[in-house]
Amino acid sequence: MLLRQLTVRDFRNLVSLDLEIPEGGVVIIGENGQGKTNLLEAIYYLVLFRSMRGARDRELVRFGQPGFFVAGDADSRVQTGYQLSGRKKKVTVDGTEVFRLADAVGRFVAIPFSPDDREIISGGPALRRRFLDVLLSLCETGYLAQLTTFRAALKQRNAALRNGGQAEAAAFDGVFSSAAEFVLGARRRWVERWRKRYSELCSRLGEVGDSDIEYKPRSDSAATAAEIREELDRTKERDIASGSTTTGPHRHDLRLLLAGKSIRRFGSSGQQRTAATALRLLEAAVIRESTGTTPVGLYDDVFAELDEGRQRRLLDVIGDVLPGQAILAAPRDAEIPGELFERPRWSMTGGRIET
Ligand code: ATP
Ligand code: MG
């Protein structure tokens, strides 16, 4: 997939950009705080119509402005605008307005690499679930729709529990259980199918111990809709007491292991970083193999702090797994490995690009 053209208006500190992106990609150099990450975030907005940093839409609007606009030409022209008044978001694909965002997700695909990715490993379970949910939404038909149904049922069930309505809460158990079965099944199959590849990617990046991923439900082993429903019945008292649904895929986790031990708990920061990079590369490999398109790579200062050996290894794996268009950002030339210099270089100051 190639991003040929990008238009941005009033997105964070980016006032107005109209860029022709070179086919082989580009290197963006700029001092701290100039808008490099904002530019990558604007590009990634075209993938999910949400911030890759988990920011709210209204935080993306340039201070003092009524809304933002981002559009890109890749396989199709994807265009999105957000207005603060009424919190309205509009998405069009090739000029046609899309009424369910799910229908536009995945029309443009990119993989965002960032030093913050380490939080996927070191942070709470929600970040790991999000990683998995985003990936499955991009490459498994029906996943996003089921996930959306699941979330809506969960929200309504929780609201009913908080209002003390046991019968009202139980009214959502059927929808909850069948959507949960789908979500859970897809996540488990994904882990089984890809754990070996994850381990290989870690080794290629220079990790010496054995790496592995496990899907980790909480205490429950429920898998089918009927079992999930039974579990809801069993935990009813607890749910009413806490005013929330205490069992289900929204409580599950992904465990990343190194030599049989949790990297989250015992890994060094370098090991956690390697694991996070491996997850991003795995994301690229999975999308490529399941959709047949090579995503655009968005690399936010990822070569910083890596010694030459690790840089070499990373470039090598990227060459195999994500050989397409690469958009790189860094504060200094020195942070970009030599062979990437062949790409055109742009400089960024105060949200403006000089080509
Ligand atoms: P670094 O090298 O430190 O990572 P960067 O070039 O990636 O820097 P960004 O994170 O892209 O920097 O941009 C940060 C700037 O964007 C900050 O100065 C911040 O004030 C500004 N900014 C963030 N959100 C908004 C917004 N909604 N409106 C206007 N400016 C914003
Ligand atoms: Mg940045």
With the most atoms of ligand 1 within 8 angstroms of its CB, the residue from 11, 37, 41, 300 to mutate is 37
Instruction: Please tell me if the CB atom of residue 36 comes closer than 6 angstroms to any atom of ligand 1.
Output: yes
Confidence label for 336 from pLDDT (cuts 50, 70 and 90): confident
CA dist 355 and 353 (Å) reads 6
Ligand 1 atom at minimal distance to the Cα of residue 65:
28
pLDDT for res 220: 67
- Tens of pLDDT, residue by residue over 276-325, are 999 999 999 999 999 999 999 999 998 887 888 888 999 999 999 999 99
Confidence (pTM) = 0.94
The rounded Å distance from CA 12 to ligand 1 centre is 7
For ligand 1, atom 23: residue with the closest CA: 12
The rounded Å distance from CA 85 to ligand 2 centre is 29
| SS3 call for 352 | strand
- Tens of pLDDT, residue by residue over 86-123, are 999 999 999 999 998 889 999 999 999 999 999 999 99
The rounded Å distance from CA 34 to ligand 1 centre is 6
- Tens of pLDDT, residue by residue over 246-275, are 999 999 999 999 999 999 999 999 899 999
DSSP 79-131: EEEEETGGGEEEEEETTEEPSSGGGTTTSS-EEEE-GGGHHHHHS-HHHHHHH
pLDDT for res 166: 81
Write down the mean pLDDT value for the chain. 94
The rounded Å distance from CA 350 to ligand 1 centre is 9
Instruction: Please tell me if the CB atom of residue 38 comes closer than 6 angstroms to any atom of ligand 1.
Output: yes
- Per-residue b or e along 270-279, where b marks 16 or more CB atoms closer than 10 Å to that residue's CB: ebbbbbbbbb
Domains of the chain, first to last: 1-109+293-355 (3.40.50.300), 116-289 (1.20.1050.90)
Instruction: Please tell me if the CB atom of residue 34 comes closer than 6 angstroms to any atom of ligand 1.
Output: yes
CA dist 177 and 39 (Å) reads 40
The rounded Å distance from CA 150 to ligand 1 centre is 35
The rounded Å distance from CA 42 to ligand 1 centre is 12
Instruction: Please tell me if the CB atom of residue 64 comes closer than 6 angstroms to any atom of ligand 1.
Output: no
